[in-house]
Amino acid sequence: MKILAIETSCDETAVAILECTGDPTKGDFHMDILGNALHSQIESHKEFGGVVPMMAKREHAKNLIPLFKNALTESGILKENISTLHGDKIKELENIFGREKEFLADFAKLIQSIEKPNIEAIAVTEGPGLEPALWMGIIFARALSFVWDIPLVPVNHMEGHIMSVLPQKINFPALSLLISGGHTELVLMKDWYQYEIIGQTRDDAVGEAFDKVARMLGLPYPGGPEISRLAELQRKTQTSTPEYILPRPMIHSKDFDFSFSGLKTAVLYSLKKEETPKEVVAKEFEDAVAEVLVSKTFRAIDEYNIKTLIIGGGVVSNEYIRKQFEEKVAEYSELKLLLPTPQLRTDNALMIGLAGYLRWLKKDKKDLRNTMSDIVAVVAKGNLKLT
Ligand code: KG4
Ligand code: ZN
């Protein structure tokens, strides 16, 4: 079946169309990416040193329709066809769009110029994320669902990051380490659809810590890639370095929680005390983060007898952190490491389509009605938890 997926939880606007067959839970799953359109807003948020929610919202509203058209075109299912929306439909659409008048005008123009494509479900991120940003994807998905009578499937963004490793095979129990600019979580899965958060950050997310430390060093946003570039430089040159040591926060605590704000503060104090080359700070910071992540994750792997380790989220792009995990996994005979391909690491709509397909399989099709009350039941949930 063809599934349309929409993601707007943070600063990536993404629309994808997937063709999925089979059932991952039965080991016979297949997927083809038919269309994948993504716009990163990094350039707009850069000067503010982080994501500005209201600006993210505006950009989503502006970019969703062009991206949607690109994804349909790439999939070969965009057919032009002039039609007219009638009064009662327009009234309902006005309710769906609320104050987003310009977005509604663009939507009305779009929908009256194209034919309903052969899509069976619309997956949309309902949370967690920035609520104003989430709403734009949800409004767009609601409107398409209403006009074309296609069922909506709300998706948890974090389930999306976990499912970003499909169609690779997951053996249970599985553990997911989700590391991004917004999250640091260890999620235990004893089976399909069963999630238990066994550890999480008590303050900053890993990516956030990278971004904040980068800012202290005068490096541009997003800081992760910059820090890892400098850290690599330091590892390669091997020049004699001054003694520079950062803490490994919570590395010995009995739980599986993390804390990165202390690490960030330690960098701040050290920079105030004496001048240290940026590369030295970057390398020690990356070492500290990697050590804590590996140590905590593997304690959970041992305790729960984990068969598959999944690592998802933007920080997976960090080569050094990946290498530390790969080396440690190699010491285990029955542990498999699953990583998403680069296009599925940062926020994207493909992973929302994959998680949406799984949710679709679980749905009792008898319950699918697509009435307005079903449609408006899908709402933005900024703090949505995985359960
Ligand atoms: O998953 P993502 O694109 O968006 C969120 O949901 O947050 O992750 C973005 C985060 C940013 O904090 C960025 O600095 C970090 O991932 N990141 C990295 C690297 N590439 C991106 N962190 C460390 N090393 C990297 N190479
Ligand atoms: Zn994410």
263-310 pLDDT, tens digit per residue, is: 999 999 999 888 889 999 999 999 999 999 999 999 999 999 999 999
In the prediction, which pLDDT does 86 show? Answer: 87
Q: How far is CA 236 from CA 181, 213, 230, 231, 251, in A?
A: 27, 21, 10, 9, 27
Distance 139 CA to ligand 1 centre (A): 27
**Is the shortest distance between the CB of 224 and ligand 1 below 6 Å?**
yes
Distance 245 CA to ligand 2 centre (A): 30
**Domain boundaries 2-161+345-376, corresponding CATH code:** 3.30.420.40
Residue 146 predicted with pLDDT over 70: yes
Which pair of tokens denotes residue 192?
């399909």
**Is the shortest distance between the CB of 181 and ligand 1 below 6 Å?**
yes
The β-bridge partners of 122 are 4, 152
Residue 242 predicted with pLDDT over 90: no
Minimal-distance CA residue to ligand 1 atom 8: 314
Minimal-distance CA residue to ligand 1 atom 18: 224
What ligand 1 atom has the least distance to the C-alpha of 161? Answer: 1
Ligand nearest to the CA of 313: 1
Minimal-distance CA residue to ligand 1 atom 23: 224
Q: Which helix (H) or strand (E) holds 92?
A: helix 87-97
Which pair of tokens denotes residue 28?
């016979």
Distance 144 CA to ligand 1 centre (A): 31
Distance 190 CA to ligand 1 centre (A): 27
Q: Considering the chain, what percentage of its residues have pLDDT values greater than 70? A: 98
Q: How confident is the model at residue 240 (pLDDT cuts 50, 70, 90)?
A: low
Q: How confident is the model at residue 373 (pLDDT cuts 50, 70, 90)?
A: confident
Distance 49 CA to ligand 1 centre (A): 14
Mean per-residue pLDDT over the chain, rounded: 95
Minimal-distance CA residue to ligand 1 atom 22: 224
- Boundaries of every domain in the chain: 2-161+345-376, 170-339
**Is the shortest distance between the CB of 154 and ligand 1 below 6 Å?**
no
Distance 295 CA to ligand 2 centre (A): 23
Minimal-distance CA residue to ligand 1 atom 10: 181
Report the C-alpha gap between 46 and 181 in whole angstroms.
Answer: 14
Cβ pair 39, 13 in contact under 8 A: yes
Report pTM. 0.95
Minimal-distance CA residue to ligand 1 atom 2: 314
**Is the shortest distance between the CB of 129 and ligand 1 below 6 Å?**
no
Q: How far is CA 171 from CA 188, 303, 376, in A?
A: 12, 16, 36
Backbone φ and ψ for 124, nearest 5 degrees, come out as -140, 140
Query: Domain 170-339 is classified in which CATH homologous superfamily?
Result: ATPase, nucleotide binding domain (3.30.420.40)
Distance 111 CA to ligand 2 centre (A): 29
Cβ pair 7, 348 in contact under 8 A: yes
Residue 111 predicted with pLDDT over 80: yes
**Where is average pLDDT lowest: 49-53, 217-221, 373-377?**
49-53
18-72 pLDDT, tens digit per residue, is: 999 999 999 999 999 999 999 999 888 888 877 889 989 999 999 999 999 999 9
**Is the shortest distance between the CB of 180 and ligand 1 below 6 Å?**
yes
- Best residue among 315, 321, 339 to mutate for probing ligand 1's pocket (most ligand atoms within 8 Å of CB) is 315
What ligand 1 atom has the least distance to the C-alpha of 211? Answer: 14
Residue 241 predicted with pLDDT over 70: no
Q: Do domains 2-161+345-376 and 170-339 have the same CATH topology?
A: yes
